[in-house]
Structure 1
Amino acid sequence: MKDLIFDKNRVINFSDAVFSIAMTLLVLEVGIPSVKAISTYDTWELLQYRIPNFIGFIVSFLVTALYWVSHLRSMKFVTKVDSKLLWLNIFLLLFIVLMPFSTGLYVGGFDYVGPFVFYCFNLTGIGIFNFLLISYIIKKEKGHPELTPHAIKWYTYTALNALIIWILAGVLAFILPLVAKMIFILIFIIQFIINRNYRIKENK
């Protein structure tokens, strides 16, 4: 049976909508103080109490944004959306949709290991399907002029970067929980190094 081909624009538009809704819902996990709380405590006390919520929101928003940018970059190479690509994309979106819940669980149990491990599991799921999606696009669109050997390495290393860091964070949570919660910063540092090396090699 001949593989079905799907409308690329519909797939991209649907994916963008899922990303934007998930990123918007993240702010709801910060929580709006009740009228009673506002009249009882001053503004700084209310905001200070919600510091974990803001941390969870900012981290989740930025990480989800990075995956959206990755999706945007990789989908531009796609000439035809087949069934395999479609389902890899659907499973990626499944874990994206889960982000508001895992973020809320994480900030609600900020001092506990279990909620953070589940949060890392969610991000690891996104990382796995992001990597599989990119790998499949690279394999499928190998002849694309922009997919040079250096570009392929860049896309591969970038996809692996966040995936490995979140797996490491989930493991470290059982041993060094504070370090595990801060290790996500390495994603941005390593990405800076990857980008720098890519530009150097491209300019040679």
Structure 2
Amino acid sequence: MKDLTFDKSRVINFSDAVFSIAMTLLVLEVGIPSIKAISSNSTWVILQNRIPSFIGLVVSFLVTALYWVSHLRSMKYVTTVDAKLLWLNIFLLLFIVLMPFSTGFYVTGFNLVGPFVFYCFNLSAIGLFNFLLIRYIMKKEKSNPELTPHIKRWYLHTALNALIIWILAGVLAFILPSVARLIFILIFVIQFFINRNYKKSNKT
């Protein structure tokens, strides 16, 4: 049982399906107005009332897409899928599936701390299992000549970046809620420097 392996293509196909379904379900959190609401309110008022929902949709969709891209990139190095890798992947997908709920919970209580902290918890959990999955793949496939030390560091630093920022956002929500809601921008800023450092060290 220890050496049991699984079909890599089935694992990837299943993961892709879960990612795509979770990303599609996000749009259901943007409530469709009733015919009565449409008749008695202007289109602008109806859309304005749904701004938090659209913000949640766009942020969650893009974040989930980034984790899918990360999953796509890291899985290409996998030669065999063992039980540990399979379960790390399953727990990652568990929190991906939770995204539509945590997004809906967040946008419903858009100005409240609790729903935002739960949203950050969901994203932190995705980040944690994404990091654990990547770290295991880097260790398991260490003999792969394509996985140079520079590439390994890039993958691990990129995974840690998002994980740390979402944890920080959840903690800051209790102290500086307005800052906490915008701190995710740091993910892209830090990633810029990670990429630049990787390109620079790769040339030397």
Gaps of 5+ in 2: none
Of all paired residues, the percent bearing the same amino acid is 79
Residue type of the alignment partner of 1:154: W
Report how far residue 91 of structure 1 moved.
Answer: 0.2
Q: What residue in structure 1 maps to residue 36 of structure 2?
A: 36
Residue type of the alignment partner of 2:49: Y
Report how far residue 192 of structure 1 moved.
Answer: 1.4
Report how far residue 60 of structure 1 moved.
Answer: 0.4
Report how far residue 195 of structure 1 moved.
Answer: 1.1
Report how far residue 191 of structure 1 moved.
Answer: 1.0
Q: Deviations over 1:10-63 (max 9, x none)?
A: 000000000000000001111111111111111111111111111111110111
Q: How does 1:23-172 map to 2 (within 5 A)?
A: 23-172=23-172
SS at match of 1:47: helix
Q: How does 1:189-204 map to 2 (within 5 A)?
A: 189-204=189-204
Report how far residue 182 of structure 1 moved.
Answer: 0.7
Residue type of the alignment partner of 1:165: I
TM-score of the pair, normalised by structure 1: 0.98
SS at match of 1:110: coil
Q: What residue in structure 1 maps to residue 14 of structure 2?
A: 14
Report how far residue 147 of structure 1 moved.
Answer: 0.8
CA root-mean-square deviation: 0.8
SS at match of 2:15: helix
Report how far residue 3 of structure 1 moved.
Answer: 2.1
Residue type of the alignment partner of 2:14: F
SS at match of 1:142: coil
Report how far residue 196 of structure 1 moved.
Answer: 1.4
SS at match of 1:182: coil
Q: Deviations over 1:102-125 (max 9, x none)?
A: 000000000110000000010011
Report how far residue 145 of structure 1 moved.
Answer: 1.4
CA distance in 1, matches of 2:106, 2:163: 18
Q: Deviations over 1:170-203 (max 9, x none)?
A: 0000011111111111111111111111112212
CA distance in 1, matches of 2:179, 2:31: 26
CA distance in 2, matches of 1:138, 1:75: 10
Gaps of 5+ in 1: none
Matched, 1:4 2:4: yes
Residue type of the alignment partner of 1:40: S
Residue type of the alignment partner of 1:111: N
TM-score of the pair, normalised by structure 2: 0.98
Residue type of the alignment partner of 1:129: F
Residue type of the alignment partner of 2:11: V
Q: What residue in structure 2 maps to residue 179 of structure 1?
A: 179
CA distance in 1, matches of 2:136, 2:20: 24
Report how far residue 157 of structure 1 moved.
Answer: 0.3
CA distance in 1, matches of 2:48, 2:135: 43
